[in-house]
Amino acid sequence: MAEPCNAHHLIPLSKGGRNTETILLHKVCHDKIHAVFSETELKRYYHTIPRLLEHEEIRKFVQWLRNKPPAFYDRSVKARKRR
């Protein structure tokens, strides 16, 4: 089974980002980022991997995910309502 991956726009397109400003993320990580942050938060501060990892919830999630197989995908991660 291939790893489920998505392109993540470092600055959301709706907030002025460009298609060239993307990174490839595992789908579960991408979903978690969008469950934790609004698009405004992503644009204003959390637009790099180091800044995303400054956030305690994201850092703990990444530590937890490190022990999972590459094809792991937790469908229970639900996005909160965007602000």
pLDDT digits (tens, 9 = 90+) for 21-73: 899 998 889 999 999 999 999 999 999 999 999 999 999 999 999 888 877 77
Helix (H) or strand (E) holding 26: strand 22-26
How many structural domains compose the chain?
1
60 within a domain of the structure (yes/no): yes
Integer Cα distance of 19 and 22 in angstroms: 6
Contact 70, 2 (CB under 8 A): no
pLDDT of residue 40: 96
81 within a domain of the structure (yes/no): no
Contact 52, 44 (CB under 8 A): no
Highest mean pLDDT among 5-9, 39-43, 77-81: 39-43
Task: Tell me the residue type at 82.
Answer: R
> Structure tokens of 57?
């919830």
78 within a domain of the structure (yes/no): no
Host domain of residue 49: 5-65
| Residue in 14, 52, 7 with CA at minimum distance from that of residue 33 | 52
- For the entire predicted model, the pTM comes to 0.79
